[in-house]
Amino acid sequence: MQGVEATAHVAAHELAAMRRALALAERGRGSTSPNPIVGCVVLDAAGRVVGEGFHLRAGGPHAEVVALAAAGPAARGGTLVVTLEPCRHVGRTGPCVAEIRRAGIRRVVYAVADPTAAGGGGAELAAAGLDVVGGVLAAEAAAANRAWLHRVATGRPFVTWKYAATLDGRVAAADGSSRWITSDEARRDVHLLRAQSDAIVIGTGTALADDPALTVRVDDAAPDLTQPLRVVVGRRDLPPGARLRDDTAPTVQLRKHDPAAVLARLADRGVLSVLLEGGPTLAAAFLRARLVDRIVAYVAPILLGSGPPLVADLGIATLAAGQRWRIDEVTRIGPDLRLTLAPVSADATAAAAPGATVTPAAVGVA
């Protein structure tokens, strides 16, 4: 059983345990790629929490193994609640289904089915006589593992285009000055966004003009955070003293301009999520190739009237041909706004043509 129906078949304490497992999974964000983030809670036979765990790093123990080890003998006859269907294959670690059976677990509640070759653990456990319920808080768990699920489905990393601009869509003034368009609060939020990404991609134009460090710099970053891979796209060489040449984070230069080829190379390196921080030209290349999966826009209450626009020519001549995006979230950060947008499908775009009736999507404001 899945989704709403599945949630109806779990007790309140199991639902609370799943929410806790989702929170635990977030502790691994930024260090688990190319694996998903996973959290797990073990309840004893009376429904009390006796063990917790999360997946920290690829090659390390899975969340279920950590939680079962913490629970010890108290797990026997109890319930295991986990954000991803337990695996049943032997990789760098053993199959979690074997550990679950060995621990004497009676019931398993999971959120998202594993779509890889390791999937099917739920069915295997059910066949062994365990009570298994899947699809509990599946939407929340799928959103948390959006990049991993996207990579499994498409074979390429999930791409977020991040930009900071004025109200009139300028990323710098006419004299080239751009520091700082947005506030300290917005820039700190960008660092948190970087911490959730496996790679940050810019073009050589941005690298040469701004000499960025492209590192995560926040006081409360997770101690196990892995600095994102810094990726420079383009053929021009970086100067010897460029900050991207230091040892604070790994850097790779890809001397190509095809966005699909760039993503293929990054996929080969195990990258699940890409933060596109380049200038107007690189952004336009990814947008024209339809390889942007999300936009996170920081908009400052400033008007310039001139200066470079946030994106270069997209080859669009008419309003009807414009790329359509859905606003999923609007959040005020200091004096600025952060907008999170998702692409509108081709079918939805066609439905928005003159004469059609479209119901606006809800926008959450925090």
**Residue 19 labelled as part of a binding site:** no
**Residue 325 labelled as part of a binding site:** no
Q: Which of 14, 52, 64, 124 is catalytic?
A: 64
pTM: 0.83
Strands 158-166 and 294-300: parallel
**Residue 161 labelled as part of a binding site:** no
**Residue 40 labelled as part of a binding site:** no
Quick check: is 64 catalytic? yes
Residue reference for tokens 């960025």: 212
Per-residue pLDDT tens listing for the chain (366 residues): 544 456 667 899 999 999 999 999 999 988 888 999 999 999 999 999 999 999 999 889 999 999 999 999 999 999 999 999 999 877 777 789 999 999 999 999 999 999 988 889 999 999 999 999 999 999 999 999 999 999 999 999 999 999 999 999 999 888 888 888 999 999 999 999 998 899 999 999 888 888 888 888 876 555 567 889 999 999 898 888 898 899 888 999 999 889 999 999 999 999 999 999 988 999 999 999 999 999 999 999 999 999 999 999 999 999 999 999 999 999 999 999 999 999 997 444 333 333 322 222 322 222
**Residue 87 labelled as part of a binding site:** yes
Q: Looking at residue 312, what is its pLDDT?
A: 93
Q: Looking at residue 6, what is its pLDDT?
A: 61
Residue reference for tokens 């998903």: 36
Q: Looking at residue 208, what is its pLDDT?
A: 87
**Residue 335 labelled as part of a binding site:** no
**Residue 301 labelled as part of a binding site:** no
**Domain covering 156-365, topology:** Dihydrofolate Reductase, subunit A (3.40.430)
Residue 53 identity: G
**Domain covering 3-150, topology:** Cytidine Deaminase; domain 2 (3.40.140)
**Residue 178 labelled as part of a binding site:** yes
On whether the CB atoms of residues 111 and 82 are closer than 8 A, the answer is: yes
Residue 348 identity: A
Euclidean distance between CA atoms 198 and 96, whole angstroms: 26
| Distance from the Cα of residue 42 to its chain's centroid | 26
Hey, what are 142's tokens?
A: 């799928």
**Residue 32 labelled as part of a binding site:** no
On whether the CB atoms of residues 41 and 20 are closer than 8 A, the answer is: yes
- Per domain, the residue ranges of the chain are 3-150, 156-365
Nearest 10 degrees: Cα torsion 242, 243, 245, 247: 160
Q: Looking at residue 49, what is its pLDDT?
A: 97
Euclidean distance between CA atoms 75 and 42, whole angstroms: 7
Q: Looking at residue 223, what is its pLDDT?
A: 56
